[in-house]
Amino acid sequence: MAIRDVLRAVEDRRDDLAALTADLVRIPTVNPPGENYRDCAEFLGNRLRRRGFDVVYVRAEGSPGDSDRYPRWNVVARKEGSRPGPCVHFNSHIDVVEPGAGWTRNPFGGEMEDGRVYGRGACDMKGGLAASVVAVEAFIDLMPDFPGAIEISGTADEESGGYGGVAYLAGKGFFSKPRVDHVIIPEPLNKDCICLGHRGVWWAKIETKGRIAHGSMPFLGDCAVRHMGALLHAFECELIPVLAARRTEMPVIPPGARSSTLNINSIHGGQREDYEGLPSPCVPDSARLVIDRRFLMEERIEDVKAEVIGILDRLAEERTDFSYAIEDLFEVLPTMTDRDAPVVRAVATGIREVMGREPNYVVSPGTYDQKHVDRIGRLKDCIAYGPGILDLAHQPDEYVGVDDMVDSAKVMARALHELLTGGSRA
Ligand SMILES: [Zn+2]
């Protein structure tokens, strides 16, 4: 049996692929709060168990959001080959964001029309999950004698950071050698793109401090909001232009994200706004800001932090009574899998053969579950590759094209074949 026959088998399963996607869309796994994870995990697990996979369900007990009402269930299915070899793992998140307004279709109807499957999560990323399932099933049906092992997981909470999903499983060894060698995450990044990784993230909370006084005599107090204004001014005039000029060699898409960026996530100072009637006249003694700093492979996180702390320390010298506190909230280092890595080469071969063109190598502006595979699992041979148009994710009338799913399922089957049998480094 040749890989050609496997690709033809994928093509023949086009209706099954569309139907599987629609069935997955009809299970509304909305996160937050994290609904119906168990139903979706079992739906997937039951299908794969019938194909001879060993299936385990793992609840991420104690992870953020996990409760008896909204348990964080994950499913991991594994099929051993006929002899030792590497393990290829396809990981998809099963959660979707809320539908939001503006739909002209039932977001959980799994409607099919004109070669598309519509619904929340069709694109991000139940279409990718279905493509990986059909690719793997076709492969094992036609090449039952394969070496190594194949795994498929459906995991929770990617949309809220992945702590009840891939991070939890990675902490239990599910995404590390020797169990797993290569990971493909079928996120919707277009069927001819290989996503090598993502930029880094640093979130921090900064507080400027003041002294309360009567608002009619502000000179008797010290206004924390004016101190925060000075910080924002320094960000605006000094830091943001410098970051915008700092360009990366990482092929980030869209190209606007090929610089370092700073977002002011939120700002609060003085009294709360939800009082009845009028506020009382007070000089604010505290102002708080959350920054979302995205950084590049070319930057070190220590420098990223020192740049902001340097501005704060300078303001403390320049401004009377300026004092501040800074707290790290979250950080992820940038990651970018090498273009020569086995999983990248295998998927690139698939794209060339199935679509007759060179792959686009891209990097995501934001992070996704690859961060946990990299940081907790310490596994470098990981990429995102899957069908669907990223711009449609989280939008009303989200859909995935059936042709795109078939093409990317063929690429996945081709890559699987090369990784398991093609003499790639294991
Ligand atoms: Zn996604």
Position 148 pLDDT exceeds 80:
yes
Which SS3 state, helix, strand or coil, does residue 200 take? strand
Number of H helices, E strands in the chain: 11, 16
- The rounded distance, in Å, linking the Cα atoms of 214 and 228 is 19
Q: How far is the CA of 425 from the centre of ligand 1 (A)?
A: 29
Do 189 and 226 fall into the same domain? no
Question: What is the phi-psi region of residue 100: left when phi exceeds 0, alpha when psi lies from -120 to 50, beta otherwise?
Answer: left
Q: pLDDT tens for residues 360-398?
A: 999 999 999 999 999 999 999 999 999 998 888 899 999
Which one of the listed residues 95, 222, 285, 398 is annotated catalytic?
A: 95
Q: How far is the CA of 401 from the centre of ligand 1 (A)?
A: 16
Do 399 and 411 fall into the same domain? yes
CA distances from 158 to 108, 129, 222 (A): 19, 14, 43
Q: How far is the CA of 93 from the centre of ligand 1 (A)?
A: 7
Which one of the listed residues 137, 158, 207, 381 is annotated catalytic?
A: 158
Structural domains of the chain, count:
2
Q: How far is the CA of 152 from the centre of ligand 1 (A)?
A: 16
For residue 82, name the pLDDT band (cuts at 50, 70, 90). very high
Q: Is residue 426 part of a domain?
A: no
Q: pLDDT tens for residues 176-227?
A: 999 999 999 999 999 999 999 999 999 999 999 999 999 999 999 999 999 9
Q: How far is the CA of 178 from the centre of ligand 1 (A)?
A: 27
User: Token pair of 286, please?
Assistant: 């505290």
* Domain's final residue, options 283, 315, 332: 332
Q: pLDDT value at position 90?
A: 98
Q: pLDDT tens for residues 263-316?
A: 999 999 998 888 888 889 999 999 999 999 999 999 999 999 999 999 999 999
Q: pLDDT value at position 276?
A: 86
Q: What percent of the chain has pLDDT over 70?
A: 99
For residue 305, give its domain range. 200-332
* Domain's final residue, options 302, 332, 362: 332
For tokens 């394969």, what's the residue? 146
Instruction: Tell me which residue of 246, 337, 249, 338 sits closest to 293, measured CA to CA.
Output: 246
User: Token pair of 321, please?
Assistant: 């009574």
Q: E strands of 94-146, at which residues? A: 112-113, 116-118
Q: How far is the CA of 204 from the centre of ligand 1 (A)?
A: 24
Q: How far is the CA of 354 from the centre of ligand 1 (A)?
A: 24
Spell out the SS3 assignment of 265-289: EEEEECCCCCCCCCCCCECCCEEEE
Give the CATH number for residue 224: 3.30.70.360
Do 264 and 285 fall into the same domain? yes
* Angle 121-395-32 from CA coordinates, rounded to 5°: 55
Q: Beta-carbon neighbour count of residue 297 at 10 Å?
A: 16
Do 344 and 326 fall into the same domain? no
Q: How far is the CA of 166 from the centre of ligand 1 (A)?
A: 13
User: Token pair of 61, please?
Assistant: 């007990």
Q: Is residue 111 part of a domain?
A: yes
Do 235 and 378 fall into the same domain? no
For residue 425, name the pLDDT band (cuts at 50, 70, 90). very low
Do 259 and 342 fall into the same domain? no
Asked if 35 is an active-site residue, the reply is no
* Domain's final residue, options 332, 359, 384: 332
For tokens 């679509």, what's the residue? 355
Overall average pLDDT of the 151-160 stretch: 96
| Strands laid side by side in the 399-401 sheet | 112-113, 116-118, 399-401
- The rounded distance, in Å, linking the Cα atoms of 362 and 297 is 14
Overall average pLDDT of the 245-270 stretch: 94
Q: How far is the CA of 139 from the centre of ligand 1 (A)?
A: 25
Q: pLDDT value at position 426?
A: 34
Concatenated DSSP letters of 41-61: HHHHHHHHHHTT-EEEEEE-T
pTM: 0.90
Do 212 and 316 fall into the same domain? yes
The residue ranking higher by pLDDT, 132 or 2, is 132
User: Token pair of 103, please?
Assistant: 């739909």
CA distances from 103 to 35, 100, 107, 326 (A): 20, 8, 7, 42
Position 258 pLDDT exceeds 50:
yes
Do 14 and 127 fall into the same domain? yes
Q: How far is the CA of 396 from the centre of ligand 1 (A)?
A: 15
Position 423 pLDDT exceeds 70:
no
The residue ranking higher by pLDDT, 271 or 170, is 170
For tokens 């940081």, what's the residue? 375
Q: Is residue 97 part of a domain?
A: yes
Q: pLDDT value at position 391?
A: 84
- The rounded distance, in Å, linking the Cα atoms of 49 and 46 is 5
Q: pLDDT value at position 2?
A: 87
Q: Average pLDDT over the chain, rounded to whole?
A: 96
User: Token pair of 307, please?
Assistant: 């740049």
Letter for the amino acid at 279? P
Contacts of 125 (CB under 8 A, 6+ apart): 92, 93, 186, 187, 188, 386, 388
Asked if 95 is an active-site residue, the reply is yes
